[in-house]
Structure 1
Amino acid sequence: MTSEPLICLPGQRLCLSDQVYTSGQGTYERQGYIYSQLAGSVDIIQKDGVKIVEVHSSGEQTVVPAQGDIVTAQVYIITQQFAKCYIKGVGDTLLRRPFRALVRREDVRATEKDRVEIYKSFRPGDIILARVLPITEAHTYQLSTAENELGVVIAHSEHGHPMVPISWTEMQCTKTFVKECRKVAKVVPENVNPENSEGNVDT
Structure 2
Amino acid sequence: MPSDSLLPGQPVPLPRGPTLKLGSGIYTRNGETRASLFGTPQHQGSSVTISRIKPHPPAPNSIVLGSITRLSPQQAVVSITVVDGVPLPPGEDFTGVIRVQDIRATEKDKVKVGDCFRGGDVIKGLVISLGDARSYYITTARNDLGVIFATSEAGGTMEAVSWQEMRCRKTGKVEKRKCAKPEGL
Alignment pair present for 1:151 and 2:146: yes
Whole-angstrom CA distance in 2 between matches of 1:182 and 1:124: 11
Whole-angstrom CA distance in 1 between matches of 2:54 and 2:132: 26
Within a 5 Å distance, the mapping from 1:1-203 to structure 2 comes to: 61-96=54-89, 97-189=92-184, 199=185
What are structure 1's unaligned runs of at least 5 residues? Answer: 1-58, 190-198
Whole-angstrom CA distance in 1 between matches of 2:120 and 2:137: 18
Quote the offset at 1:61 in angstroms: 1.9
Whole-angstrom CA distance in 2 between matches of 1:132 and 1:60: 21
SS in 2 for 1:103: strand
Report the number of matched residues. 132
Which amino acid letter does the alignment assign opposite residue 64 of structure 1?
Answer: P
SS in 1 for 2:162: coil
8 Å contact kept, 2:53–2:86: no
Which amino acid letter does the alignment assign opposite residue 121 of structure 1?
Answer: C
Deviation per residue, 1:27-49 (Å, 9 max, x gap): xxxxxxxxxxxxxxxxxxxxxxx
Quote the offset at 1:139 in angstroms: 2.1
Whole-angstrom CA distance in 1 between matches of 2:105 and 2:169: 29
SS in 2 for 1:83: strand
TM-score, scaled relative to structure 2: 0.69
For the aligned residue pairs, the C-alpha RMSD in angstroms reads: 1.2
Quote the offset at 1:115 in angstroms: 0.4
Which amino acid letter does the alignment assign opposite residue 136 of structure 1?
Answer: G
> 1:28 corresponds to which residue?
none
